[in-house]
Amino acid sequence: MNIHATDTIAALITGQGTSAIGQIRISGPDSLNISNAIFKGQNLNKVSSHSLHFGKIVQSDGHILDEVLVSVFRSPHSYTGEDVVEISCHGSLYILQEVLNLIYSNGIRPAEAGEFTRRAWLNGKMDLSQAEAVADLIASETKASHLLAINQLKGGIRNEIAELRAILLDFSALIELELDFSEEDVEFADRGKLSNLLDQISDKVTVLLDSFRLGNAVRNGVQTVIAGRPNAGKSTLLNALLGENRALVSDIPGTTRDTVEEKLNIDGVLFHFVDTAGLREARDQVEAMGIARSYEKIKEAAIVLYVYDVQNTNFNELETDILDLNVDPESIIMVANKSDLISEANKPETEIAFLKSISPIHISAKNEEGISELKKSILMKVLGNQSIQEDSIAINARHRTALESALQEIIQTKKALLTGLTTDLVAQQLKTVLYHLGLVSGEITNDQILGHIFGKFCIGK
């Protein structure tokens, strides 16, 4: 066990704001001594690990601040791996601040954002991908994001590559050994086996890279913009999707001027829906500003629901409108609205050349018909043929950068092996592959990566 920290830190670990109970965590070598100095009850220096004690927090002049419960965790069996004391107070902002002040006046310093988890990582309690999972778990808002976070916390991502990386490390050591015997022209590392191993790793890395799109959508939500001409029924559609009257609807074209944004959870995946101002030649300055904003949102969207009035649409116009959106056709879902106004037999097929393969979803936003089919196709756009299962894992943007570099290096190493490059060059290549794979779980790290990961935490985690 590495205990790196010599100082003791403390912070509020429950939410800011009045609540029934608020909890303060103290971690580090002085946590028991200092808690004992402000706690009237059992001698905390003498109690066993994982025990709970009732008592009072008392200021130096004898004034009682609160009646509390104190939990004691002794190193290394705690979240951080250090001695940890957690004080459960009544959740008054005044009490919590005063107890913290008392702790800080005894020489303990406030914990920085993510510092408890950073210490947990330093003390070998978790790897970096698991530390990231703690942040994801706290941020999870849907079943899917929760599942991905839990699987990553269980070591899902590390386990995918750790074993193969370990074998590669052995190969790397053998090749280094060959360098020591370079004059004798010996070959300890079987080049055929090494090449197979590299293939296995690259297969695994490719599967992981494929999981990024899904992971990103599930963790961060999917920006979905509802666009179209004025009066197409965009706001009516937003309301139908949400099941509430969120946006103003009227038969006056140009009703929506600013964007209206709402979150919606569809089968465990979070979507950020944005209703926008109808796209047309603006009639006044404010409408022009609204339309400019519509285009900004369309540019940022992962999915565009292009809504048109199925009864009143000329298909040539529709084609120009879609081209004007200037987005990847793959991200568009065509929504033929107001289907209630035409008979089944008259439902026209869209004949837009580059969208030919995409058939529109016919809905009536007003009568809430076709909404569940539309939701299904929105979900399909995100998940494709993937689905969130009990054991699903998905990488994040940091893992992706590292794994993409690893894949490039694997390709170079394979080339080096095929072209019979010198042993020292192969050794060098292998080190680079190992480096990039090691970044994912944190065997290899640097200050920039750590700052990036732990800076995303809130204070107290």
Instruction: Name the site residues for ligand GTP (rule: CB under 6 A).
Output: 228, 230-236, 249-251, 253-256, 277-278, 337-338, 340-341, 364-366
Question: Which of ligand GTP, Mg ion, none binds 231 (CB below 5-8 Å, type-dependent)?
Answer: ligand GTP
Which span sits near Mg ion by CB under 5 A: 199-207, 254-262, 294-302, 389-397? 254-262
Q: Which amino acid is at 397?
A: A
Question: Which of ligand GTP, Mg ion, none binds 365 (CB below 5-8 Å, type-dependent)?
Answer: ligand GTP
Question: Which of Mg ion, ligand GTP, none binds 236 (CB below 5-8 Å, type-dependent)?
Answer: ligand GTP
- Residue 286: partners with Cβ closer than 8 Å, 6 or more residues away: 257
Question: Is the Cβ–Cβ distance between 263 and 292 less than 8 Å?
Answer: no
Task: Give the nearer residue to ligand GTP in terms of CB position, either 130 or 256.
Answer: 256
Q: End-to-end CA distance of the chain, in Å?
A: 21
Task: Give the nearer residue to ligand GTP in terms of CB position, either 32 or 264.
Answer: 264
Least distance in angstroms from the C-beta of 283 to ligand GTP: 11
Task: Give the nearer residue to Mg ion in terms of CB position, either 31 or 224.
Answer: 224
Helix 31-38 to helix 93-105 angle (10° resolution) is 120
Question: Which of ligand GTP, Mg ion, none binds 81 (CB below 5-8 Å, type-dependent)?
Answer: none
Question: Which of Mg ion, ligand GTP, none binds 404 (CB below 5-8 Å, type-dependent)?
Answer: none
Task: Give the nearer residue to ligand GTP in terms of CB position, either 286 or 341.
Answer: 341
- Residue 165: partners with Cβ closer than 8 Å, 6 or more residues away: 201, 434, 437, 438, 443
Which span sits near Mg ion by CB under 5 A: 36-44, 82-90, 132-140, 247-255? 247-255
**Alpha-helical regions (H) of 353-396:** 371-383
Q: Which amino acid is at 413?
A: T
What string of H, E and C letters represents the secondary structure of 34-98? HHHHHEECCCCCCCCCCEEEEEEEECCCCCEEEEEEEEEECCCCCCCCCCEEEEEEEECHHHHHH
Least distance in angstroms from the C-beta of 258 to ligand GTP: 10
Helices H, strands E: what count in the chain?
Answer: 14, 13
Question: Which of ligand GTP, Mg ion, none binds 251 (CB below 5-8 Å, type-dependent)?
Answer: ligand GTP
Task: Give the nearer residue to ligand GTP in terms of CB position, either 145 or 236.
Answer: 236
Question: Which of ligand GTP, Mg ion, none binds 254 (CB below 5-8 Å, type-dependent)?
Answer: ligand GTP
Three-class secondary structure of residue 332 per DSSP: strand
Per CB under 5 A, does 294 bind Mg ion? no
What is the token pair recorded at 211?
């999981």
Which residues in 214-243 contact Mg ion (CB under 5 A)?
234-235
Rounded to an integer, what distance in angstroms lies between the CA atom of residue 159 and that of residue 164? 9
CA 257 → CA 249, 279, 297, 309, distances in Å?
A: 12, 10, 13, 19
Question: Is the Cβ–Cβ distance between 206 and 253 less than 8 Å?
Answer: no
CA 211 → CA 183, 248, 400, distances in Å?
A: 46, 38, 9
- What is the number of the residue whose Cβ is closest to ligand GTP? 278
Task: Give the nearer residue to ligand GTP in terms of CB position, either 250 or 316.
Answer: 250
Rounded to an integer, what distance in angstroms lies between the CA atom of residue 205 and that of residue 183? 36
Least distance in angstroms from the C-beta of 31 to ligand GTP: 58
Task: Give the nearer residue to ligand GTP in terms of CB position, either 141 or 244.
Answer: 244
Least distance in angstroms from the C-beta of 253 to ligand GTP: 5
Closest CA to 113 of 91, 97, 135: 135
Percent helix / strand / coil, the chain, rounded to 5: 50, 20, 35
Least distance in angstroms from the C-beta of 239 to Mg ion: 10
Task: Give the nearer residue to ligand GTP in terms of CB position, either 231 or 392.
Answer: 231
Task: Give the nearer residue to ligand GTP in terms of CB position, either 75 or 239.
Answer: 239
Question: Which of Mg ion, ligand GTP, none binds 232 (CB below 5-8 Å, type-dependent)?
Answer: ligand GTP
Question: Which of ligand GTP, Mg ion, none binds 460 (CB below 5-8 Å, type-dependent)?
Answer: none
Residue selected from 239, 256, 313, 337 as contacting Mg ion according to rule CB under 5 A: 256
User: CA angle 352-358-360, nearest 5°?
Assistant: 85
Interface contacts to Mg ion, rule CB under 5 A:
234-235, 255-256
